Structure 1
Amino acid sequence: MSTFSQVITAVAVTFFVNGAVLAHQEHSHHQHGHAHSEKHAEAEFVRAEVVEVDLEHKEVVLKHEAIEHLNMPAMTMAFSAADDVEISALSAGDEIKVKVERQDRDFVIIEMKAEIDHHAH
């Protein structure tokens, strides 16, 4: 793993751990009898730039804009790709749009498309 990758991974882990602690603290203030039936905001496409692709681990390091439904600010971090998301054609510098959701302890790209719509609102 390159030094750059190690730094990015360390930053991503730091943000993930801090985010998980904050999310747990916020969630612990709410009393829900059926936590699994809670409605969460639906994932929306966000713009991202590919920084690195790891085909062996099926991960992509992205520099992404804020992901509102996950309360995640814009940052650079590694994401797993869902089984049905193909990442082999990606290269560093590619501009894409992704939908991300939290699955257990991972943030997973569930849908991806090339960033070609320059007139999006």
Structure 2
Amino acid sequence: MKIGDLAARTGVATRLLRYYEQVGILHPFRSSNGYRSYGEPAIERVLQIRELLEAGLTTEMIREVLPCLDSETDNPGTRHCPTVKDLDGLRRQLASIERRIDVLQRNRQAIRNYLSAWEEAGATT
């Protein structure tokens, strides 16, 4: 698929897709005329990149960790990934992600409780 198709299917602007290529976290195929071409796996890759960015990782961290995430899928027993250089930064990001997950879980439960109370109150009137 062409870059415009990938942009449409992922909701990510073509400018950002080109930037991901420039920083080395997205790797299109190049046709003989120089056009970018992406396979179906690029859709998941772009969505994964977006999620990692939203989680607070920098593009540098993403470039280091992506090969590790791929190898985790292929070999869940993998314990060491030599591409990761900034382990302390990755640990900080993990702690930040875990804090956000805790907050989200508490908020989810509070909203569930609110909706449940609202629905019970509505059922009795």
Q: Same fold (TM over 0.5)?
A: no
TM (norm. structure 2) is 0.23
Greater RCO (Cα-Cα under 8 Å, separation 6 or more): 1
Higher helix fraction (1 or 2): 2
Q: Which has the larger radius of gyration?
A: 2
